[in-house]
Amino acid sequence: MDIDKYNEQVKEQRKPIPNASNYEIDPDGFVYRKGKRLRLRRQGNHWYAQIYDDSRKSHFVDSERLARSVFGDEEPTLRREDIENNFQVRTIPAFPRYVVTSYGAVYCIDPPKRGKNAGTCYLVHESLSRGKPYVTLYQRDGTCRRKQVSWVVDQAW
């Protein structure tokens, strides 16, 4: 495929960003201003673009999430059934809200009612301390405990 043909195909797929008439976005999440692709910045697991709306106010937007909303795709969500059917998991006895795989992936299957993970199941974030992975697990009463992943796996398996 010729590079010019590819560029034309991508150009045809671009759509304008709502309330920011100078910008366009393609299905892959790349943002363009006057035909030139903007540099995206990575923060965590997401790519962000800085754009200015029609009233000249600056916005720092997640480009992949914006592309999904502009092109009508739905947000990917993780459900309890997906976790239980696709992974071999066991409930952690001391923390019944969580399940763990034999290799140490910890999932929350009873999501919180408030916060950034409200209403959806999620993979629990691990942090390293002295070279060993730890997870923070919450009990029903709201108290939290920081546990080593190997301890969590030993309790469930």
* In a shared domain, residues 61 and 84: no
* In a shared domain, residues 11 and 60: yes
* In a shared domain, residues 50 and 85: no
* In a shared domain, residues 49 and 94: no
Model pLDDT, residue 132: 94
* In a shared domain, residues 31 and 91: no
* In a shared domain, residues 122 and 141: yes
* In a shared domain, residues 104 and 134: yes
Is the pLDDT assigned to residue 10 strictly greater than 70? no
Nearest to 152 by CA among 111, 113, 131, 124: 124
Model pLDDT, residue 3: 67
Per DSSP, the chain holds a count of helices (H) and strands (E) of 4, 14
Q: In 3-state terms, what secondary structure has residue 64? A: helix
* In a shared domain, residues 66 and 85: no
Is the pLDDT assigned to residue 155 strictly greater than 60? yes
Is the pLDDT assigned to residue 95 strictly greater than 80? yes
| Residue 52: partners with Cβ closer than 8 Å, 6 or more residues away | 20, 22, 58, 59
pLDDT tens digits for 32-53?
A: 998 899 999 998 888 999 999 9
Q: Which residue, of 22, 47, 71, is where some domain finishes?
A: 71
Q: Which residue, of 16, 47, 71, is where some domain finishes?
A: 71
Is the pLDDT assigned to residue 116 strictly greater than 90? no
Tell me the pLDDT of the chain averaged across its residues.
87
Which H, E and C letters describe 97-115, residue by residue?
EEEEECCCCEEECCCCCCC
The count of structural domains within the chain is 2
User: What are residue 48's DSSP bridge partners?
Assistant: 41, 62
* Cβ-based burial of 69 (10 A; exposed 0-12, middle 13-18, buried ≥19): middle
Q: Which residue, of 12, 42, 71, is where some domain finishes?
A: 71
* In a shared domain, residues 89 and 150: yes
Higher pLDDT, 131 or 12: 131
Residue range of the domain that includes 130: 80-156
User: What are residue 15's DSSP bridge partners?
Assistant: 25
* In a shared domain, residues 97 and 151: yes
